[in-house]
Homo-oligomer: A and B are copies of this chain.
Amino acid sequence: MIVTTTGSNTTAVTQLVRAARETYAYRRFGGGIGRPLLCLQHFTGTLDNWDPAVTDALASGREVVLFDSAGVGRSTGRVPTTVAGMSSHTLDFLDAVGLSTCDVLGFSLGGMVAQQMVLERPSMFRRMILVGTAPRGGVDIMHLEKPNLARHLGDPTLHGYAVLQKIFFAPTSPSQMAGRQFIERLAQRTEDLDKPSGPEVASAQMAAFREWERAAETSEGALRDVTHPTLVVNGIHDEMIPVSNSYRLAETLPNAVMLVYPDSGHGSLFQFHESFARHAAAFLTSDSPYAPY
């Protein structure tokens, strides 16, 4: 019997699981006939950075599993300085919670981890959603020193989530309004919170971006053999990981549909959360061997 439960990242209890090397914090909620969906988070993001408008909509058809990788939030250990290191922790986590197969949604840094995991253990994963991310050897990845990003990151008047409104959304009125609504949704969770990431998380993850970007060998050869149905999503004006990286993913992965949103930046999935959740659900619900949905 399939039990459908509801759930929300605003209220889900944070759990802990002891794995091979570390103890990982995670949340698991929702249900339905779909395969569980593992969600892999962006630079410095914790469990509390997942937009309930996205996770809860997807949780109505399948279990949604959010987790903190090593050294992030309430997970123990040190943050690896390579994507491969993060992939290794994520696989440990999946083994520890007994998830032998799942779909995966990787956003930004999380999309790089997703690619790495699918290359390492292809049979474990069915469908991939890669949002605002880049292939290994991609271009212009997370250069926070760029003026359009640095001026917000260095703005002393921006506190907490407010900086995300500036750097995840385009500098237009509709996009900034969507950004305000996004941080209001994040703020709905008020208890059982992760500790925000500090500079040690940021510097290790930034090292991982540099290693991924500067790779002498791109991942294109390897990605050409990844036949998993994939949905590549990006905002057209993404300053953090430009859309050209999604173009390259779509041109390389043999079975990837690409969906690009207008008037949006890195957080396109949060800006157009209704549309994104609808597309993601349609894509995940399909049992075709082909990506188009």
Mark A residues whose CB is within 8 Å of B: 174, 236, 243, 247, 250-251, 253-263, 272, 275, 278, 290-293
Contact = CB atoms under 8 A, between A and B. Distances in A.
A174 B275 CA distance: 29
Contacts of A247: 243, 247
A257 B250 contact: no
Contacts of A259: 257-259
Contacts of A258: 236, 258-260
B275 A250 contact: no
A290 B247 CA distance: 23
B254 A262 contact: yes
A260 B257 contact: yes
Contacts of A292: 261-262, 272, 275
B272 A262 contact: no
26 contacts: A236-B250, A236-B258, A243-B247, A243-B251, A247-B247, A250-B260, A250-B262, A253-B262, A254-B263, A255-B262, A256-B262, A257-B259, A257-B261, A257-B262, A258-B258, A258-B259, A258-B260, A259-B259, A260-B260, A262-B290, A262-B291, A262-B292, A263-B290, A272-B292, A275-B292, A278-B293
Nearest to A272: B292
Contacts of A290: 174, 262-263
Nearest to A255: B262
Contacts of A250: 236, 260, 262
- Interface-centre pick from A257, A261, A262, A278 (highest chain B CB count, 10 A): A262
Contacts of A243: 247, 251
Contacts of A253: 262
The 6 closest A-B pairs by CB, nearest first: A275-B292, A258-B260, A272-B292, A256-B262, A255-B262, A250-B260
Given A275-B292, A292-B272, A255 B260 contact: no
